[in-house]
Amino acid sequence: MVNFKQNSINEKPTIRRFFLAIIQFGVLLFIHPLLSSAASPSGVITLEQVIMNVLEHNPQFRMNNYEDAAAAARIRQAEQGNPLEMTLDMQDFAGSGTYNGINRLETTLSLGKVLELGGKASSRRDLARQDASLLNNMQDSQRMDLLAIAAEQFMRVVVDQHRLAIARKQLKLVKHTHDIVAQRVKLGKSHVAELRRIAIALTRAKIDLEHAEHGLAFSRLKLATSWGETKAQFSSANAELFVLPAVQPFEQLEKLLANNPDLVRFATEQRVGQARLRLAEARQTSDLKLSAGLRYFNQQKDGALVLSVSMPFGSGARAKPYVEEMQHLARREPLRYEQRRLALHSSLYEIYQELLHAQSAFSALNREMIPVAERAVNDYEQGYSSGRFSLLELNETQRVLLDARLEAVVTAANYHRFRIEIERLTGAALRPGVNP
């Protein structure tokens, strides 16, 4: 049997869970390498501000407030007992013979109430509270997902900013090459066809720059919509993209997997199932209906008290199918938990391997490939100026350098994306010594 992690049934209000989500996402808010200082007056935004804006202004979180209020109302509904029933009973009037008119009319006014036995009221109340706790768990999971999406959108803005910077460097480099080719053509050292060829490359670089500008504009708007705005007010996103801190061993992350919101929710679902089972078992006990009142005999002008008790038969037999249903569903929960845990473990391992690969790939790009490519471009520029290399060779070398720079940006961004996903899966910070 799998032991579920137990949570408190009585969840605190939404604000407290907001702070809980911030703590669970603490690596993004306080210690994540992408974070920097508070925004400057120029409008630079950080990931910390993005998270706070999403928590404060995302429409989904405001919807959660109404869902919480509705859940509280359902608890109050479940706590209500059966109401008193007033019955007016009139007999023996408007008939024939001696029962003509109202001379023999008998009027009974009584109050009645169904007395629930077997703990039905407490079971119903407990089920409503467990449903509210399950709603809180679902909102926590949803909150973590929204924060992870916001962090991903922030990363996209950062990456698009670097793409734009690389596109500008590309345009500058092609313009520089164009000047070299133009000088060689002027001196008669190169054919005018090379000038036309580099002119095409220059146009392509301008198109790439425009495409990067549009991509950044869209990603900025997409990020702003995560906190309910239709226009990006910030000037840029500030993050230490190329700082890749070390990660914990997989064995330690594996232990944190129990904090995954989905697995935590399974524990609450198990308690909901137990509450439903208790409510179904309570249906095996028949309820009593009591009523008492006063009867008035119109002919004798007399009155008398009346009392009645009623109880249905066969409640146990009718409740048996409901009990069996809840029992089967309750036995299913540990298996569902184990199935989800294995799937999450597999996903965590896959993402962890991708994280390690991104780390090693970025190191190779940043320490080996890019420095060598930069030196190669300088060598080929000098060689082309002296006639030792062709324009095609120079262009190919420049392309390798630009591709390596862009790959380094994408690889670093993937590293941080994988970290964010691991944080979402584990619900905990990655750095050693930091408690979520």
Phi-psi region of 228 (alpha: psi -120 to 50; beta: other; left: phi over 0): left
The answer to whether residues 387 and 292 touch, using CB atoms and an 8 Å cutoff, is no
Name the phi and psi angles at 306, rounded to 5. -130, 145
The answer to whether residues 399 and 408 touch, using CB atoms and an 8 Å cutoff, is no
CA dihedral 103, 105, 109, 114 (to 10 degrees): 170
Q: Which of 220, 243, 240 is nearest to 230 (CA)?
A: 220
Low-confidence ranges of the chain (pLDDT < 50): 1-42, 429-436
Tokens representing residue 144 in the block: 């973590």
CA dihedral 408, 414, 420, 421 (to 10 degrees): -160
What is residue 276's predicted lDDT score, i.e. its pLDDT? 82
DSSP 290: E
Strand, helix or coil for residue 256: helix
**pLDDT, tens digit, for every residue of 115-156?**
888 888 888 888 888 888 888 888 888 888 888 888 889 999
* Amino acid letter, residue 296: Y
* Kind plus residue range of the DSSP H or E element containing 293: strand 288-297
Angle between helices 391-426 and 370-385 (to 10 degrees): 170
Whole-structure pTM value: 0.71
What is residue 5's predicted lDDT score, i.e. its pLDDT? 39
Residue with the two structure tokens 């996402």: 25
- CA dist 163 to 169, 286, 413, Å? 10, 72, 12
- CA dist 89 to 106, 110, 224, 306, 310, Å? 8, 8, 67, 12, 17
User: How many Å apart are CA 195 and CA 197, to the nearest integer?
Assistant: 5
Question: Residues 6 or more apart from 11 whose CB is under 8 A from it?
Answer: 17, 132, 133, 136
- In CATH, what class is 14-85+117-285+316-426? mainly alpha
Q: Which of 355, 338, 325 is nearest to 423 (CA)?
A: 355
Residue with the two structure tokens 């001379």: 103
User: How many Å apart are CA 72 and CA 66, to the nearest integer?
Assistant: 10
CA dihedral 157, 159, 163, 165 (to 10 degrees): 80
* Amino acid letter, residue 358: A
The answer to whether residues 276 and 318 touch, using CB atoms and an 8 Å cutoff, is no
The answer to whether residues 399 and 1 touch, using CB atoms and an 8 Å cutoff, is no
Angle between helices 120-186 and 14-24 (to 10 degrees): 50
Angle between helices 261-282 and 315-364 (to 10 degrees): 180
Stated length of the chain: 436
Question: Residues 6 or more apart from 56 whose CB is under 8 A from it?
Answer: 227
- CA dist 27 to 33, 331, 344, 359, Å? 8, 37, 20, 18
Residue with the two structure tokens 């990931």: 47
